[in-house]
Amino acid sequence: MKSFGLFVGLLLAVGIRAAPSKDCEHNVKEAVTPPRGWSKVKPAPADHLIELRIGLPQPKFAELEQHLYEISDPFHERYGAHLSKEEVEDLIAPHEESVSAVDEWLADYGFASHELSRSPAGDWVKVRVPVSLAEDMLKTEYHVWQHEETGDAIVRTTTYSLPVHLHGHIDVVQPTTTFARLRGMKATYHYADEQDFIVDIAQPTIPIPSALNGQVNASCNASITPTCLRELYNIGNYTPQAADVNKIAATGYLDQYANFEDFHDFFAKYVPEATNATFDVIYINNGTNNQSLAAAGVEANLDTQYAFGLSYPTPATFYTTGGSPPFIPDDTTPDNTNEPYADWLAYILSDPSPPQTISTSYGDNEQTVPYSYATRVCKELAQLSARGVSLIFSSGDSGVGDGDSDPATQQCFTNNGLNETKFIPAFPASCPYVTTVGATWYIPEVTYYISGGGFSNYFARPWYQELAVPHYIKNLNTTYEGLYNASGRAYPDVAAQGQFFWIFDGGDNSQIGGTSAAAPTVGGIVSLLNDARLANGLPALGFLNPLIYAVGAILPDAFNDIVGGSNPGCGTEGFTAEVGWDPVTGFGTPNFGKLLDIALGNLGGLLEF
């Protein structure tokens, strides 16, 4: 026995393993039913390159979440004490055993530890492999899948396996089973119909008690500009004072380019005091920002012109992330670069000083993102929030539906193989660590029927919603029982105007709308609040939701409550907008003057309760 033990020791000393991981028993790690609308086209080319992202467990994430909630709770003594990049990374770092186990598995396939790409915390490992090797590693088969409506094509599998001993050391491997298209949720913008409304030019102003000086120019009823938003949301002539430290950003994907000529034309006409304004561009994953007017992106132009127009002269950044089109089915050796959102997250988490406010108008149906991957992405967002970043997302333009047909006739089905009829929540809008924005229109404001809203099927209701959401559900009674998850994270949190926005796009001055207009509007307003706090020696607001729900319960006049109307879909009228919070417009639209008092005046009396 002694000599056998010595022999085994010698084998190990020279790096020989009797049973490499690739020869061990494999069990299925994840399997999904392909989402509706996707068809299998053909086997993926063997030499097609995939960048596998391997997510290792984050054993202390619950501790990070506790920190996040404490520093975001206006009633907590730690309010505003945001974590540093290093503190966050320490809290999400994997156990060394997990790192070693994954490294050994990859070494069996010829990848030395120093050749691997790792996230700063080590919780993600990336390795670039051809399909043939990925299929061997994951004991699966990749195919080209095509979306029937859009023609988008991706290389995916519906199931993959890992060695049994690795199941506890790997949370997720992608791209494998995620069919999300990171779209604007049926394009989170809608062109205005000029016949929707006729302005009564005989009435020069509209009385709005919460607005600046109690009134709004009547033209704003069907013609939104930065001036209208400043009047309507009581911003007035507030001018940023902390441009040396405060920053704002908007994200761009899917070949959406922010055009500088359009930007300058917009400012010359609608923000003339800022004619020379500009913004920085950061290029991620071979992202580009084509400046041909013909290539101008309406989404990118809308986001930058309004988020940066409202917050000028706050330094602004546009992130352009490559990764579109996803794949050309006839190509034999393209790169599979259709997960740009993961690339943006990897970049922004590595930034030691990210912008304090970031607006994003992209997402997809929650059910197209596997639960394992959605939870990991949501945890990435929690990391940013814990570092003091206010993350703003649009809620989608499909009401309670999936956006694939007319709201009145949609048939909404689950992707779990049971074809159950359910409302379809959106992601990342449903993540509990971000602030999600619905839409209103007209003045006085009313519910914009496209406003995405509902309840997550993946994420439980967070503590900050424990007062507002159960109250709404109680009043809802049995209406739509079984069509939504009453215990899920509810959204949106707030709302803003979402139609008739004047922009410059491709050299043309035109109108546009959707929750893609509402999100950058709220982003610009949040940036102004952050500016005020920073200028007064206070930390940025960071994760907003605990504050929003406290304000909504105690000082509701800080939001303009929207009552009446609904967000139809799935063959129903959808949820209705009620007094207080509702899953159509959240707590309503912002009153900047009131929120500014709250942000600066010891939280406006909140601590007295």
Active site residues: 299, 303, 516
Whole-number Å distance between alpha carbons of 188 and 492: 14
Residue 255, marked binder: no
Q: Under a CB-based contact definition with an 8 Å cutoff, are residues 374 and 196 in contact?
A: no
Q: What are phi and psi of 596, to 5 degrees?
A: -65, -40
Residue 580, marked binder: yes
Cβ-based neighbour number of residue 5 at 10 Å: 9
- Of the candidates 492, 521, 593, which has an alpha carbon nearest to the alpha carbon of residue 209? 593
Give, for 205, the enclosing helix (H) or strand (E).
Answer: strand 205-207
Give, for 217, the enclosing helix (H) or strand (E).
Answer: strand 215-217
Instruction: Give the pair of three-digit tokens for residue 107.
Output: 């070494």
Residue 201, marked binder: no
Residue 364, marked binder: no
Is the peptide bond prior to 546 cis by the omega test (within 30 degrees of 0)? no
- Of the candidates 114, 256, 98, which has an alpha carbon nearest to the alpha carbon of residue 170? 98
Cβ-based neighbour number of residue 195 at 10 Å: 6
Q: Residue 122 has what DSSP assignment?
A: S
Whole-number Å distance between alpha carbons of 136 and 496: 50
Q: Under a CB-based contact definition with an 8 Å cutoff, are residues 134 and 21 in contact?
A: no
Q: Under a CB-based contact definition with an 8 Å cutoff, are residues 468 and 582 in contact?
A: no
- Of the candidates 312, 234, 327, 326, which has an alpha carbon nearest to the alpha carbon of residue 276? 312
For the chain, report the end-to-end CA distance as a whole number of angstroms: 73
Q: Under a CB-based contact definition with an 8 Å cutoff, are residues 304 and 258 in contact?
A: yes
Whole-number Å distance between alpha carbons of 280 and 343: 19
Q: Under a CB-based contact definition with an 8 Å cutoff, are residues 344 and 286 in contact?
A: no
Instruction: Give the pair of three-digit tokens for residue 251.
Output: 């994200």
Residues of each annotated binding site for Ca(2+): 561-562, 580, 582
Residues of each annotated binding site: 561-562, 580, 582
